[in-house]
Structure 1
Amino acid sequence: MAAQQLEEKLTCAICLGLYRDPATLPCGHNFCEACIKDGWAHCGRECPECREPFADGAVLRRNVALSNVVELVRAAERGPEPEPGAEPRPQRHGHPLELFCRTEGRCVCSACTVFECRLHERALLDAERREREAQLRASLEVTAQQATQAKAQLQELQQQSSQIQSSACTLATRVSGKFSCLLQALEMWRALALKGIEAAKAQALAKAQDERQRLQDHLEALAHHDCSVRDLLGQLDDRTFLQESQLLVPPVPLGPLTPLQWDEDQQLGGLKETLSKLGGLLLEERGHPGMPAEAADLGPMEAPGPLTPVPSPVCPLRRELWQNYRNLTFDADSANRYLHLFRQNQQVKHCHQARGQASPGSFELWQVQCAQSFQSGRHYWEVRTSNHSVTLGVAYPELERHKRGTHTDNIGRGPCSWGLCVQEDGTQAWHNGEVQHLPAVSGRLLGVDLDLALGRLTFYSLKPHTQPLHTFHAVFNQPLYPVFWLLEGRSLTLCQQPGAKLLPGSQEEASGLC
């Protein structure tokens, strides 16, 4: 008991262990030098027991006498060194360590159970080890489950981050395009506004010139009259004076000055209204053929309405194609699991996370086809892509749903489909496994013209101007479905034309689709 009390007296109040390099504060309390310094690093410089402040200039000094006492206690606890092969002995009682005190958490001997651990919970060493091993193995299972969960969450986080990056990139591209279109429209209105101001200025200045000429002519007439009057006043002959004075007629009075027509508010009134409407196009997703400039690409999309009086710059070829425009929608059952549909099945986007189980009729490749098909007549549709690395085309209903070979898509790889693949470095036209290489295009806005009567399929690039890319000639003897392939992270939108009509007898009309 005395040894235990001595050990308590030599215990640091911070680390609860025997002093190591004990230092004494001015208040008389002792602590391990490392403990008190660490405590001061996180709290105030004061004694942890009595809270007496420690002066900033004071220096900690080692308590030599206390250090020596601690060393003696440590040596007594260790006892003599055991001989090689001998059983371990306890620190104080000289008996084998056969038990484990669960209350104090240390190995003890039989003497400890009498003198120190009489009322404590104890167990045999091997029994305690087995129980501890079982606890550790259970903890391994828990940590393994946590590791699996953390890896799954990390993967989900990476997928979400990739989706955010892809969405941000697409959004930035779209907003940049909107601003470009807005700037083009603003430039057009600026030129028209300046032209109108110049015309109004020229008209007002022409009237000013006419008025100036009238005033100058009147001044000359007055000067001539004054000269005649002065000559007549100097005439000495009375008869001559009287005869000539009757013939002298003064100039007609000048009259009021004609005001010039110039009104700044009239010049700016229409422009202010136009700019107000134009600002609403910035974040609109859809356009209208009546729009000025290329806001929303002047394509078959919805918009707040036309802005007059600027004429639409859509080329005649594209306007002619619009006469056969078809509004399409995607067939959800045909879409690959990684292709997600939005906006009433008018937009498709490749995402890193699958939607779930694949439908029986879905593509194994990253492809989707439209719900509409065509068997006769002439039909035209337009699509907007987020970037390159997309394929669009038409195919018979028998187009293979499963992957065959090494190609990432099967559009144009066989005899039942025709496709145009838009890549960053070039464009490829595919049919029956044969390819024709074409120059690179922007590929952001594309058109497809299908004339079944003439057996002609033509792909168009619509930006910066309408131009044909490639034409297929074939005898189409089955219904044709528009079909598309997208690289990961890409999106594609089916442009909608307000008021698009169906030709009589088309496959769409027969099936009730619009």
Structure 2
Amino acid sequence: MASADLREELLCSICLCVFKDPVMLRCGHNFCRVCIDQHLKTLDRSGGYSCPECREEFQERPALMRNINLHNVSERFLVTQPNHEEITGICCSYCVDSPVPAVRSCLHCEASLCDKHLKVHSKSPEHVLSDPSTSLENRKCSVHKELLKYYCTKDAVCICVSCGIIGEHNGHKMESLEKASMKKRKKLRNVLQKLTIKREETKKRVQSLEKHRRKAQEKASGEAERVTALFIDIRRRLDDLEKRVLSDISRQEKEKSLSLSALIQKLEIQKDELSRKMGHIEELCNMTDPLTVLQEPDTGDLCDPEEGGGDEDTGGHDNQRHDVDGLDVTVISGKLHTLCDIISGIRSGIYVEGPADILLDINTAHNNLHISDDLKTAICTPKKQNRPETAERFQVYPQVMNRRRFTSGRHYWDVQSSRSGWWSVGMCYPSIDRRGDQSFIGNNNKSWCLRRYNNQYSMTHDSTVIQLPHNISSDRFRISLDYEAGELSFYDLCDPIRHLHTFTTTFTEPLHAVLCVYRRENIGFGENNWLKIMNCGKTNYKLK
């Protein structure tokens, strides 16, 4: 603001620009030297001179006294001011000595005006003012060179007065630019509102996808850690098995080596003794004195009495050699069979770990459900089972829960269904209603199910139905529960297994398996409507 006030004081009243080489008249007013010279020249023939500011008259041409202080101030001011032409790009058309930013443009004059020149500009109606613009020609009709003042609604173009009277738009409906622009701004606001809503929806979708991507990354990271841990365990167990087998081979080798060494030492002693006896007999054979030869004991006495049976002894040695000829490969093979156990353990680690049986609870079974003796199968039947009415028994819909509660961990169970009929299978809270309309699984916020109706399959929770587009030909399904993660997944046990849907929530109660084998009067009863629990287990990984 201070800079603007200072600029006002440094403007020449003739050119309306900052002083350049300012000079002062005797009256005390200052002007640019060039500006006052041109002014005084126009007065040379009039016989008198006057000040353009205060109109004080001079008989002779007044002397121009240079105002050094004002010159210095003007120079410093120009140095400290930014280049307005670079900032706005539109400068006053009349400030030729120095660029001054324009504040308005006159469409009639096709000129841009600064504050000073705007004050002295004509106020007549034909001088239409607008925001500063360099393309003033665009605001005029290209045919009649008149200002565009109206809007042709038929052709959706801006026109001048002549276009509407004698031009090609004669007879067309016209509106003022203000009214037409108001309508267009209203439409644009509606479009803007729709775009804003769409942008917010897109933003939410991006956030949702980002969440799913992070979840997928977390799952992938968890699976990678699980597989890494699995292979580390496999390598550890294989290393342990290798060490045990090699240690057993080494132990057997040492035992056999000691046994053979003892036998070899014994045989070496026998060999030396036999050599000594053979040498003595050879000496007797070489003697010529008959008396000496006859006085020696018989040759049979020279042999060891314990070795009387030479052939049998040899046979004994052969049998002993046969006994120590090799290692006990049966023991080694038995240890190597542990590999099969390791492989079985790996499969168990991938698929199932330990039994976790699911048995149906007759105390919850509807009276039109026959429960098999093994508590695995629920069959729709027209015959009432005459069970007592209790608070835990389903009274309206033919449903039954299992006995076991799932409160943590990862579990799965498989079910086989009849290929006809209307049935539902899923999980529910124990607090589910047993008597009212809200007791039907899937039609409340306490149960989740896969439903088959009219050969169509759907996923249902809290009365929200998600139709499955898959062509399901299998009659076996898997329900997988990850309690801590809040995920309940359903799979079609075809080849290969196909994921159908996953419900995601935060479980607040224990969960029970629940079956529904429904009947309708037009369908009738029949033992072809049934559900059977096949197997179940506890998993140490996520099936998805």
Shorter-chain TM-score category? Answer: 0.3 to 0.5
Normalising by structure 2, we get a TM-score of 0.37
Bigger CA radius of gyration: 2
Normalising by structure 1, we get a TM-score of 0.39
